[in-house]
Amino acid sequence: MGTLTLDSYFDPQVEFEEVGVAINGQRTWKLLGPDLDGHYGSLHGVGGLEATVQESDGLATPVFNDCFGNVLGAVYGGNVTWNSVRVSGYGPVLGYQASTLTPGTLLADTLVWRSRGIDPSGFYNLGARYYDPVAGHFLSPDPLGHEASMDLHSFCLGDPINRFDPTGRFGKEAFNGAQAGMADAGENGLSSFNGFGSSSNMKGIYAFEGDFEQGEKDVLFACLALVPGIGEAALASDGAVFAGEGVMLEGGLAEGADAEVAESLGGDAAVSETTLPAAETAAPKVEGEMAAETVDETPIAEIETETGAGAESTSAAVNEGQLTSGVVNESRAAADVGTTAASQGENASLQSGQVAQNAAGGGSGAGDAIPAGFAKELEGGGSWLMTEPQYLKFAKGQDFIGRADGQFMTSSRQLNQIIYDVGTDPVALGQKLNVEGWTANTRLIRMDVSDPLLFNARLPNASMSGANPMFISGGKTIGGVSEIVTDPLPASQVWATPLGR
């Protein structure tokens, strides 16, 4: 009888976020998109699994999730295989047994309940604690004590339908706006456990959308190449491709230095469907929804920088399954309703009509209207850079981020392109973005907002405080970067990523 060796690979910037497993050295990577609440890593992978990819042969296995993050089925060879294991909120229903990972088992088959693989011991490792799906409680007491759990061992306070504990640390403060937002959306209200306060450290997803090859199609690809140590990203003109040569997650996947995870997801039809977050209905996704013109998930980057002593931040990117044509912004709506801060915030001045108005070039606000092409680009996200001191001074712990007269930013796509072009060197980035004072020692934080058009986005004018002597009227820097300004942004809509470290 041989030895069975199981290894797990974790995102170094998202606690307990497993991004790959290896069985006897054979690695399989998880293609992770936004979790149920629409943000990468905020639910530690629950609902975020798009597909699995075997490193050895590049076999991609897209999966179907339901609104709880349970994997209902997977696509093998173009056919959907529905999982025979039934699950409840507590785990596999009695009489059913989730598959454990063995050399003959595909990873996707083992991730039945909440996108989590069951341990050979029969328990689930939920990060801080092991969970017994049969008894429906944790094996060890709640590390947060009685304040978090009356009996210390219960799971989700006895309500696994409306709540979830992805890490085994279910503090009262763990709930955030996504919970209410999901309830507002008509969801059953799967609660969101969004990190661990200031020490949370989440990882982003970056994707390009655009005509990259022959102008034939929108090709979406995860920009692994934009991150130091990742290497070149591969592109294909016929569909979504994700590829990474080199260390996939810097600092966290030492063994992955030679990993080449490249696989066309089968062109238009075989792209794994993104698990939609808050506004997704309770109905499981069906095969028909995978048509090419179905859904596009807005690229979302989510990361909370870790500023604790000794914390070593790294940069990384994770692929996001995307599709090719027919952009339908369902995810935008999902993100909107999933964020209570946006609806509660006095500065969130967003109405869908206004978005349309801005996108059509008739934006409101002090500045000029945004050209339709740029507005379209901004639907993929807005981004800006700030230094670490600025982040600590103006962003960390704030409910709203940005200047009252307008927060400067560019599109995520343009910033991705800039980083692709010049790397993460602060001096080069400063030159490109017309920011003085960034030197080789400057630590930069990338700020991303999933949809800046929701926040009174408009072109900047020369009277704005960020319009320095290098400002060019019309919203472009001398480096050719288009810019907008927005109203202050709810912190729940902004994600920070340490750049280049």
Partner 1 sequence: MNNNPLNLIRQALDKNQMTDLLLGAPEYCYLPKYSSSTSATDLAALLGVLYDNCPLEERQETSLKIERAFLDIVKTYEGIEPSSTVILLEALAQKNGNALGLPLEILASDLRNSIAHFRDRLANDKAAGGRNYPDGLLGDLRRLSKNVVDLGGPSFCS
Q: With contact defined as beta carbons under 8 Å apart, do 222 and 321 qualify?
A: no
Nearest residue to 436 via CA among 499, 495, 387: 387
CB of 346 to partner 1, least distance (A): 9
The tokens for 388 are 């670490």
Q: Applying CB under 8 A, does 492 fall inside the site for partner 1?
A: no
Q: What is the DSSP string of 354-379?
A: HHHHHHTT---SSSPPPPHHHHHHHT
Distance of CA 301 to the CA centre of its chain: 5
Binder among 2, 79, 309, 353 for partner 1 (CB under 8 A): 309
Q: Applying CB under 8 A, does 312 fall inside the site for partner 1?
A: no
Describe the chain by its helix, strand, coil percentages, rounded to 5. Answer: 20, 20, 60
Q: Applying CB under 8 A, does 408 fall inside the site for partner 1?
A: yes
Distance of CA 17 to the CA centre of its chain: 12
Choices 111-119, 249-257, 308-316, 355-363; region in contact with partner 1 by CB under 8 A: 308-316
CA separation (Å) from 33 to 380, 427, 465? 15, 32, 36
Count the site residues for partner 1 by CB under 8 A.
Answer: 45
Q: With contact defined as beta carbons under 8 Å apart, do 267 and 239 qualify?
A: yes
Collapsed DSSP state (helix, strand, coil) of residue 109: helix
- What letters, b where the CB count within 10 A reaches 16 and e where it falls short, cover 308-328? eeeeebbbbbbbbbbbbeebe
CB of 390 to partner 1, least distance (A): 5
| Burial degree of 113 (CB within 10 A; 0-12, 13-18, 19+) | buried
The tokens for 93 are 């229903």
Q: With contact defined as beta carbons under 8 Å apart, do 498 and 443 qualify?
A: yes
Choices 79-87, 240-248, 262-270, 465-473; region in contact with partner 1 by CB under 8 A: 465-473
Dmax (CA) of the chain: 75
Binder among 389, 423, 474, 480 for partner 1 (CB under 8 A): 389
The region that residue 197 occupies, defined by phi over 0 for left and psi between -120 and 50 for alpha, beta otherwise, is left
CB of 467 to partner 1, least distance (A): 8
Binder among 88, 154, 398, 431 for partner 1 (CB under 8 A): 398
The tokens for 179 are 């919970």
Binder among 86, 146, 172, 393 for partner 1 (CB under 8 A): 393
Choices 45-53, 318-326, 438-446, 450-458; region in contact with partner 1 by CB under 8 A: 438-446
Backbone angles phi, psi at 172, to 5 degrees: -60, -35
Q: Applying CB under 8 A, does 392 fall inside the site for partner 1?
A: yes
Binder among 316, 370, 409, 454 for partner 1 (CB under 8 A): 409
CB of 404 to partner 1, least distance (A): 7
Parallel, antiparallel or unpaired: strands 87-88 and 79-82: unpaired
Q: Applying CB under 8 A, does 103 fall inside the site for partner 1?
A: no
Q: Applying CB under 8 A, does 455 fall inside the site for partner 1?
A: no
Binder among 81, 357, 387, 461 for partner 1 (CB under 8 A): 387
Q: Which of 115, 176 has the CB closer to partner 1? A: 176
Binder among 434, 456, 486, 493 for partner 1 (CB under 8 A): 434
Mask: binding to partner 1, 360-379, rule CB under 8 A, as x and -? --------------------
> Which residues touch 46 (CB under 8 Å, ≥6 apart)?
35, 36, 68, 69, 114, 115, 116, 164, 166
Q: Applying CB under 8 A, does 154 fall inside the site for partner 1?
A: no
CB of 373 to partner 1, least distance (A): 22
Binder among 254, 404, 427, 478 for partner 1 (CB under 8 A): 404
Q: Applying CB under 8 A, does 428 fall inside the site for partner 1?
A: no
Q: With contact defined as beta carbons under 8 Å apart, do 370 and 459 qualify?
A: yes
Binder among 111, 236, 435, 453 for partner 1 (CB under 8 A): 435
Q: Which of 126, 395 has the CB closer to partner 1? A: 395
Choices 227-235, 245-253, 284-292, 431-439; region in contact with partner 1 by CB under 8 A: 431-439
CA separation (Å) from 78 to 22, 48, 225? 25, 21, 29
Mask: binding to partner 1, 471-490, rule CB under 8 A, as x and -? x-----x-------------
Choices 123-131, 314-322, 327-335, 399-407; region in contact with partner 1 by CB under 8 A: 399-407
Q: Applying CB under 8 A, does 308 fall inside the site for partner 1?
A: yes
Q: Applying CB under 8 A, does 436 fall inside the site for partner 1?
A: yes
Q: Applying CB under 8 A, does 431 fall inside the site for partner 1?
A: no
Under the rule (CB under 8 A), what is the footprint of partner 1?
198-199, 307-310, 384-390, 392-404, 407-409, 433-437, 439, 441-443, 465-469, 471, 477
